[in-house]
A and B are shown apart, each in its own frame.
Chain A
Amino acid sequence: MTRTLVDADAWSRAASAELRADEVLLAVAETDLDAARCFAPGAVALTTSRILSLALIERRARVVGQWPLHDGALTLTDHAGVASLDWRCGDALLARWEFRLGLQAAAQGLVDAWQRWREGDHAARSGQCRACGIEVPVGIALCEDCAEDERPPSTLNLLRLWRFARPYRSRLLLGFALTLVATAATLVPPYLTKPLMDKLLIPYQNGQDLDRELVSLYMLGLLAAALVGWGLGWARTYVLARVSERIGADLRTATFEHLLNQSVSYFGSKRTGDLMARIGAETDRINVFLSLHLLDFATDLLMIGMTALVLFSINHWLALVTLLPLPVIGYLIHVVRDRLRRGFERADRIWSEVTNVLADTIPGIRVVKAFAQEGREAERFRAANRHNLEINDRVNKVWSMFAPSVTLLTEIGLLVVWTFGIWQVSNDEITVGTLAAFIAYIGRFYTRLDSMSRIVSHTQKAAAGAKRIFDILDHQSNVPEPERPRVLPPLEGRIQLEDVSFRYGNRQVIRHLNLDICPGEMIGVVGHSGSGKSTLVNLVCRFHDPSQGTVRVDGIDVRELAVADYRRNIGLVLQEPFLFFGTVAENIAYGRPEASRAEIVKAARAANAHEFIMRLPHGYDSLVGERGQSLSGGERQRISIARALLIDPRILILDEATSSVDSTTEKAIQAALDNLVQGRTTIAIAHRLSTLRRADRLVVLERGEMVETGSHDELMARRGAYHALHQAQARQAELLLDEVPPGLGSATSAEGRA
């Protein structure tokens, strides 16, 4: 993904130029760091007899080093975002190339090519990736990786809202037509000033009689125009406000639905407060913008256009003078627009900061209080608010200057019209009525300009909001749905992990893991925390996709299955069971809302939960709080086991299901789990080894690698990593035994299984 300063083909060309008669170029990998780890373009090339090092000398790609291929070894490692490709001969390091991880795929291709060469395959593979010049490994389109570039900047975000407006286009058209007519109606009264002056008032002043019939006709005309304007204005506001409200609702729903389809790691990297602010406040802001400000703006534009037409039809010289300040105001708006937009975007971000403090503090209130840090959290909130104030103060400085400037220009415009008008009247070029009509028009005209200038800030705010919404909508889930998902047959439950690696940021969490789990087998995964146990489970559940390798279920790559279809076959019991607000029954039936009451009770019985549920005040209809707070940890856990039992999954995942409860409760849960495990492919993670006594096979993970596998007895006999873990726990259990009274100690010692 790293853009280089050199043409990608240049390396291949330079390497090819060096080739001897019987030599073939096998692979080229770009590098972007030099020996001192400074950014410098370079490359490694692999041929059928040599390995070449290339660098840029005087802006040309040149070979700067070469080593014969026999008895050397090529290894690829990485740390902290930098990968290094080492060429060793025996024990000596001959060459090292370093580059950022973006170039790692190409380097891996080079290592693969070298391995094939070592195995006697000396043919260059076809299908080279154009961008990085390496071979495309079978089944992986690396070229896409290379070609993947940032998406075009979404500056016209508001226009993209059209996608949500489309379904309402007929109603929008109606609203627009109403606006047009309503605006025309409001233009009638000033037009009537001209004949009122010229035909009635001035002749009367000059001694003629008032034509009462004409007066009443004009007055009726004024009244009618006002009434029509009122009625039409009401209708168009009603129609358009309704539409925009619906667009806002659609936008909100679409964003939330899109959010739900994001992978678990997306939520890990975003803050709840920020996402909530985006979906809640931003959609609302866009909504208000559409229903109020945009509507006003359209009306204003129409008003100005129509007024200009009328003015020109009356007197084009005076019209020209009247319209003179328009470009100046337009320019002013344009200048300020940019500064304001930036300001408002920053203000939005700061606002998220304010909500983030709330979202962090409120769920963690017990920790805050326990450590007596209320003062610090208050200070954090105050600081966020202060920051908010600072930003807004700066924006307001620009903004407050803006509106009065427009007013000033308006006044100057009026002055110009008066001056020019009086001069024209004195020359008998126009009547007093015409001047009066002009003044009446431009009174409205300039106030419109003033309110139009306000649209700038509203548009910028809404555009900033739209951008933040589209940030979510544009984010492709990194667990993508396949384009043509395979139909999932009833699962047997075989799980295969083939050379699976997973990287989280720049940390390699799982390395080259191979594991074949038979249908119905129970696998226990043990290892220290941070050894990659939970990541392994996340990969099987497809919460993440592996960076390398494949996860297969019944021989099918899970990436070829529709995500939801696949997950329906997985029952998950977590360390911290999450109960939604609702009744116990609803919580048990979460994965299968159509389950009958009898089924729910059956599942609860099997999960050892029935009795305590019956002891609750309203049985299965008892409400459990946001996090099931009225229930104990063990009770919540049994509800979540019942939830997993009810969907009758082929694959069962127990992620530290018993580690947060005491040993007595653990027994009850263990009994429930034993019911659950029957005949299902199970992957159980446990810190306490005793929990895994029923496992058919144990897998010991250490820093992302599988170091041992086998049954408890086999592993104990091997006296390796598992043995060490077991001894450590047994010692701990003994220590505990010394501390607790004998009556309570029995459960603990059983747990140690020493």
Chain B
Amino acid sequence: MNAPVPDGWNLFRNPAGHWCLEAEGVSRERVCVVRAFPIGAPTGAVCVLDAEGHERLWIDDVSALDEVRRERVEAALASREFTPVIEAILHISSISTPSRWTVRTDRGITDLLLPGEEALQRVGARSLLVADADGVQYLIRDIPALDRTSRRLLERFL
């Protein structure tokens, strides 16, 4: 199957708050915009799926788009993605799981409940995904770049 790359396309949000894609004369409601490699290459390829989950548009490189389109794609991604990036671990309730962590993320300070050690998953050599008990995934982008306290707290689980 070839990647669908129609010549002209238009991504917009309708009044009901759903994202729509117009391509090759067809307008599709409730499309999803997703990144192909959200952690490995977050700024790279993006794909638009229709409501049935079929691929309708493949964007090889978002940064190569014109400004209007790029902003729309990024807005659509933002309305769907939720992976707070942990910048610091401020406190942990216990070193045995379940453990409640207080973390500072790019979206503010919050609590998360770590259900078990297996909820920490290494992605690549330096990053770590933390899945909390509610299924939200938090990302630690660069473990060695964390501050000393955070690293020490984290080390007890790795």
Chain A residues within 8 Å of B, Cβ to Cβ: 1-3, 32-33, 36-40, 79-82, 86, 88, 91-93, 96, 100-102, 149-155, 269-271, 342, 345-346, 349, 467, 470-471, 503, 505-507, 703
Known: A82-B136, A93-B17, A345-B156. A270 touches B53 (CB 8 A): no
Across the interface, which residues of A come within 8 angstroms of B94, CB to CB? 150, 152-155
A39–B116 CB distance below 8 A: no
What would 21 A/B residue contacts be, using CB atoms closer than 8 Å? A39-B107, A40-B108, A79-B80, A80-B82, A80-B136, A91-B15, A93-B15, A102-B113, A102-B133, A150-B113, A153-B93, A153-B99, A270-B118, A342-B156, A346-B158, A349-B158, A467-B96, A506-B131, A506-B135, A506-B137, A703-B53
- Among A80, A102, A269, A703, point to the contact of B118 (Cβ < 8 A): A269
Q: Is B100 an interface residue (CB 8 A)?
A: yes
Across the interface, which residues of B come within 8 angstroms of A2, CB to CB? 110-111, 134
When chains A and B are docked, how far (Å) is the Cα of A32 from the Cα of B137? 15
- Which 7 A-B pairs rank lowest in CB-CB distance, beginning with the nearest? A506-B135, A153-B94, A93-B17, A81-B136, A39-B108, A101-B134, A38-B107
When C-beta atoms are compared, the residue in chain B nearest to A91 turns out to be B16
Q: Is B97 an interface residue (CB 8 A)?
A: yes
Across the interface, which residues of B come within 8 angstroms of A503, CB to CB? 135
When C-beta atoms are compared, the residue in chain A nearest to B152 turns out to be A342
When C-beta atoms are compared, the residue in chain A nearest to B16 turns out to be A91
Q: Tell me the B86-140 residues at the A interface (CB within 8 Å).
A: 93-100, 105, 107-111, 113, 116-118, 131-137
Q: How distant is A502 from chain B, measured CB to nearest CB, in Å? A: 13
Q: Is B81 an interface residue (CB 8 A)?
A: yes
B156–A269 CB distance below 8 A: no
Q: How distant is B104 from chain A, measured CB to nearest CB, in Å? A: 10
List 13 additional contacts besides A81-B136, A100-B136, A153-B96; criterion CB under 8 Å: A2-B110, A79-B80, A80-B80, A82-B82, A91-B15, A150-B94, A150-B98, A150-B99, A269-B118, A342-B155, A346-B158, A467-B96, A506-B131
When C-beta atoms are compared, the residue in chain A nearest to B136 turns out to be A81
Q: Is B3 an interface residue (CB 8 A)?
A: no
A154–B158 CB distance below 8 A: no
Across the interface, which residues of A come within 8 angstroms of B95, CB to CB? 153, 345
Q: Is B78 an interface residue (CB 8 A)?
A: yes
Q: Is B2 an interface residue (CB 8 A)?
A: no
Task: Point out which of A1, A3, A81, A91 has the most chain B C-beta atoms below 10 A from its C-beta.
Answer: A81
Q: How distant is A276 from chain B, measured CB to nearest CB, in Å? A: 15
Q: Tell me the B25-41 residues at the A interface (CB within 8 Å).
A: none
Contact string, B13-55, partner A, CB cutoff 8 A, digits 1/0? 0111100000000000000000000000000000000000100
When chains A and B are docked, how far (Å) is the Cα of A96 from the Cα of B100? 28
Across the interface, which residues of B come within 8 angstroms of A271, CB to CB? 118
A151–B98 CB distance below 8 A: yes
- Among B96, B99, B111, point to the contact of A3 (Cβ < 8 A): B111
A101–B136 CB distance below 8 A: yes
Across the interface, which residues of A come within 8 angstroms of B83, CB to CB? 80
A86–B17 CB distance below 8 A: yes
Interface residues of chain B: helix, strand, loop or mixed (majority): loop
- Among A37, A91, A150, A346, point to the contact of B100 (Cβ < 8 A): A150
Chain B residues within 8 Å of A, Cβ to Cβ: 14-17, 53, 78, 80-84, 93-100, 105, 107-111, 113, 116-118, 131-137, 155-156, 158
B99–A102 CB distance below 8 A: no
When chains A and B are docked, how far (Å) is the Cα of A81 from the Cα of B97? 20
A154–B105 CB distance below 8 A: no
Across the interface, which residues of A come within 8 angstroms of B111, CB to CB? 2-3
When chains A and B are docked, how far (Å) is the Cα of A506 from the Cα of B134? 7
Across the interface, which residues of B come within 8 angstroms of A346, CB to CB? 155-156, 158
- Among A37, A88, A93, A342, point to the contact of B82 (Cβ < 8 A): A37
A32–B110 CB distance below 8 A: yes
B108–A38 CB distance below 8 A: yes
Q: How distant is A215 from chain B, measured CB to nearest CB, in Å? A: 61
Q: How distant is B137 from chain A, measured CB to nearest CB, in Å? A: 6
When chains A and B are docked, how far (Å) is the Cα of A222 from the Cα of B131? 66
A37–B107 CB distance below 8 A: yes
Q: How distant is B107 from chain A, measured CB to nearest CB, in Å? A: 4
A81–B81 CB distance below 8 A: no
When chains A and B are docked, how far (Å) is the Cα of A2 from the Cα of B156? 23
Task: Point out which of A100, A155, A345 has the most chain B C-beta atoms below 10 A from its C-beta.
Answer: A100
A1–B16 CB distance below 8 A: no
Across the interface, which residues of A come within 8 angstroms of B97, CB to CB? 471
Across the interface, which residues of B come within 8 angstroms of A505, CB to CB? 131, 135
When chains A and B are docked, how far (Å) is the Cα of A81 from the Cα of B78? 14
Task: Point out which of B95, B105, B118 has the most chain A C-beta atoms below 10 A from its C-beta.
Answer: B95
- Among A80, A96, A154, A155, point to the contact of B17 (Cβ < 8 A): A96
When C-beta atoms are compared, the residue in chain B nearest to A387 turns out to be B158
When C-beta atoms are compared, the residue in chain B nearest to A95 turns out to be B17
B118–A100 CB distance below 8 A: no
- Among A38, A91, A269, point to the contact of B116 (Cβ < 8 A): A269
Known: A39-B107, A40-B108. A1 touches B113 (CB 8 A): yes
Known: A80-B82, A91-B15, A92-B16. A150 touches B134 (CB 8 A): no
Across the interface, which residues of A come within 8 angstroms of B82, CB to CB? 37, 80-82
When chains A and B are docked, how far (Å) is the Cα of A80 from the Cα of B117? 20
When C-beta atoms are compared, the residue in chain A nearest to B98 turns out to be A150
B134–A100 CB distance below 8 A: yes
A471–B96 CB distance below 8 A: yes
When chains A and B are docked, how far (Å) is the Cα of A91 from the Cα of B17? 9
When chains A and B are docked, how far (Å) is the Cα of A155 from the Cα of B93? 12
Q: How distant is A42 from chain B, measured CB to nearest CB, in Å? A: 12
Q: How distant is B38 from chain A, measured CB to nearest CB, in Å? A: 10
When C-beta atoms are compared, the residue in chain A nearest to B155 turns out to be A346
When C-beta atoms are compared, the residue in chain A nearest to B92 turns out to be A153
Across the interface, which residues of B come within 8 angstroms of A93, CB to CB? 15-17
When C-beta atoms are compared, the residue in chain B nearest to A150 turns out to be B98
Across the interface, which residues of B come within 8 angstroms of A471, CB to CB? 96-97, 116
B135–A37 CB distance below 8 A: no
When chains A and B are docked, how far (Å) is the Cα of A270 from the Cα of B117? 9
Across the interface, which residues of A come within 8 angstroms of B136, CB to CB? 80-82, 100-101, 506
Task: Point out which of B108, B135, B137 has the most chain A C-beta atoms below 10 A from its C-beta.
Answer: B135
Q: How distant is B91 from chain A, measured CB to nearest CB, in Å? A: 12
A154–B96 CB distance below 8 A: yes
When C-beta atoms are compared, the residue in chain A nearest to B114 turns out to be A150
B109–A1 CB distance below 8 A: no
A81–B133 CB distance below 8 A: no
Q: How distant is A721 from chain B, measured CB to nearest CB, in Å? A: 10
Known: A81-B136, A92-B15, A96-B17. A37 touches B156 (CB 8 A): no
When chains A and B are docked, how far (Å) is the Cα of A407 from the Cα of B96? 35
Across the interface, which residues of B come within 8 angstroms of A79, CB to CB? 80
Across the interface, which residues of B come within 8 angstroms of A467, CB to CB? 96
Across the interface, which residues of B come within 8 angstroms of A507, CB to CB? 135
B118–A39 CB distance below 8 A: no
Across the interface, which residues of B come within 8 angstroms of A269, CB to CB? 116, 118
- Among A3, A96, A349, point to the contact of B117 (Cβ < 8 A): A349
Across the interface, which residues of B come within 8 angstroms of A37, CB to CB? 78, 82, 107
